[in-house]
């Protein structure tokens, strides 16, 4: 766990440092060319730096140990960081469109476009490398804020590519209006990216069910299922930064001792943790079986069976999230 935290923080320090360097390069390109499109790219770099700094702080904060005021830890701060980044991107996109409208009314006097093209290509290439590294590291370490930052940088890369194409067109046609048209297109793209980041962050903060995450956990549960585990239901998953909290109700034979119950719940936790890449925390509630459970219970040595075993019910999203014991309908 500590190694993961250090990797996250070290990666974000590099990204922040290079982001500051790229911001300086983009503003140099603007001063050389007077292009509004390049200015919007430079302004987005300010967003990159601010968002990167906030993400770095959020990783420090998320790494703080649990305390009595934060029994689930501090991991959800990463979702705030992602939402903050999305909001900053939205503002940058709106400002880009404003500058484009201003450019239509007062066309800029463009110059030295070849320098602007070279510097934009260079900064876009570096952004692409950073974005791929951030997204890969963020997914491997289950860091929402790092994935959000990488997604933003990747969008910045595509906008830089579009910017280069537009600047080349201006260079050969001298149609200055392309600068403003290009700025509007890039602004709209950036606004959409910001909106998606804010939306995803809100979903996480509201603990919206992550279907893909549920499907992954259910697949693992079916692969490690034991005959003693008669039933599993009321499964809930919450994401707190890099940690997944799994709540579930497990139906076990009513005559099991407390030690046997503990062994089975501990076995489920251990087996899932060994197979899942992410850090997990569990809250397993044990339920005693009921007469109707006999029909789905495959324990052949049970001496208290009331009904014959009929079939084992497969665990799916539809029946694992329900809050009652499973039974075969008459």
pLDDT of residue 253: 92
What's the half-sphere exposure (Cβ side, CA atoms, 13 Å) at 186?
Answer: 34
pLDDT of residue 273: 81
**Domain residue spans of the chain:** 2-205, 212-320
- Which CATH superfamily includes the segment(s) 212-320? Cation efflux protein, cytoplasmic domain (3.30.70.1350)
Task: Please check the confidence at residue 241 and state whether its pLDDT lies above 70.
Answer: no
Mean pLDDT of the region 204-231: 80
Which strands sit side by side in the sheet containing 243-252, from one edge to the other? 231-240, 243-252, 279-288
109 pLDDT band (50/70/90 cuts)?
Answer: low
Q: Give the whole-angstrom CA distance, residue 68 versus residue 113.
A: 58
Task: Please check the confidence at residue 239 and state whether its pLDDT lies above 80.
Answer: no
pLDDT of residue 237: 81
pLDDT of residue 209: 65
The CA distances from residue 224 to 217, 227, 258, 267, 321, in Å, are: 11, 10, 22, 10, 18
pLDDT tens digit sequence for 276-292: 766 777 889 999 998 88
Burial of 2 (0-12, 13-18, 19+ CB in 10 A): exposed
In this structure, which long-range contacts are made by residues 302-305, counting pairs with CB atoms below 8 Å and at least 24 apart in sequence?
Answer: 302/253, 304/253, 304/254, 304/255
Task: Please check the confidence at residue 122 and state whether its pLDDT lies above 80.
Answer: yes
Q: Give the whole-angstrom CA distance, residue 87 versus residue 197.
A: 8
Q: Give the whole-angstrom CA distance, residue 309 versus residue 29.
A: 75
Where is pLDDT greater, at 312 or 79?
A: 312
Which residues 6+ apart lie within 8 Å of 217 measured at CB?
A: 235, 237, 246, 272, 276
Where is pLDDT greater, at 120 or 241?
A: 120
Q: Lowest mean pLDDT: which of 1-5, 107-111, 208-212?
A: 1-5
pLDDT of residue 259: 94
Q: What is the pTM of this model?
A: 0.60
Task: Please check the confidence at residue 1 and state whether its pLDDT lies above 60.
Answer: no
pLDDT tens digit sequence for 243-274: 778 888 999 999 999 999 999 999 988 888 88
Task: Please check the confidence at residue 92 and state whether its pLDDT lies above 80.
Answer: no
pLDDT tens digit sequence for 172-211: 777 767 767 777 887 787 788 788 878 877 877 776 666 7
Task: Please check the confidence at residue 89 and state whether its pLDDT lies above 80.
Answer: no
Mean pLDDT of the region 81-97: 78
pLDDT of residue 262: 93
Task: Please check the confidence at residue 2 and state whether its pLDDT lies above 50.
Answer: no
Q: Which CATH class is domain 2-205?
A: mainly alpha
Q: Give the whole-angstrom CA distance, residue 6 versus residue 229.
A: 38
pLDDT of residue 3: 46
Mean pLDDT of the residues in the chain = 79
Task: Please check the confidence at residue 110 and state whether its pLDDT lies above 70.
Answer: no
Q: What is the dihedral of CA 282, 286, 292, 295, to 10 degrees?
A: 60
The CA distances from residue 164 to 16, 274, 289, in Å, are: 24, 48, 67
């Amino acid at each position: 766990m500590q190694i993961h935290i250090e990797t996250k923080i070290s990666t974000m320090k590099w990204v922040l440092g290079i982001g500051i360097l790229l911001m300086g390069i983009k503003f140099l390109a603007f001063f050389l060319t007077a292009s509004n499109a390049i200015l919007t790219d430079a302004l987005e770099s300010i967003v990159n730096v601010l968002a990167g700094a906030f993400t770095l702080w959020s990783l420090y904060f998320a790494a703080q140990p649990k305390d009595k005021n934060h029994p689930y830890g501090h991991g959800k701060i990463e979702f705030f960081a992602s939402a903050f980044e999305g909001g900053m991107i939205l503002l940058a996109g709106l400002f880009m469109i404003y500058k484009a409208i201003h450019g239509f009314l007062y066309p800029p006097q463009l110059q030295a476009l070849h320098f602007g093209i070279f510097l934009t290509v260079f900064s876009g290439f570096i952004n692409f490398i950073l974005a791929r590294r951030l997204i890969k590291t963020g997914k491997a370490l289950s860091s929402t804020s790092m994935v959000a930052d990488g997604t933003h940088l990747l969008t910045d890369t595509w906008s830089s590519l579009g910017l280069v194409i537009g600047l080349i067109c201006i260079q050969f046609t001298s149609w200055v209006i392309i600068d403003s048209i290009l700025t509007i297109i890039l602004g709209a793209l950036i606004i959409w990216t910001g909106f998606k980041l804010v939306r995803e962050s809100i979903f996480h903060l509201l603990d919206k069910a992550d279907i893909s995450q549920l499907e992954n956990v259910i697949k693992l549960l079916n692969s490690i299922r034991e005959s003693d585990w008669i039933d599993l239901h009321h499964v809930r998953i919450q994401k707190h930064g890099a940690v997944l909290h799994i709540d579930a109700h497990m139906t076990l034979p009513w005559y099991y001792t407390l030690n046997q119950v503990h062994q089975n719940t501990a076995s489920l936790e251990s087996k899932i943790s060994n197979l899942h890449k992410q850090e997990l925390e569990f809250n397993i509630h044990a339920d005693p079986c009921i007469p109707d459970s006999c029909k789905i219970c495959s324990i052949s040595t049970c001496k208290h069976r009331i009904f014959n075993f009929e079939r084992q019910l497969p665990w799916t999203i539809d029946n694992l999230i329900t809050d009652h014991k499973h039974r075969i309908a008459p």
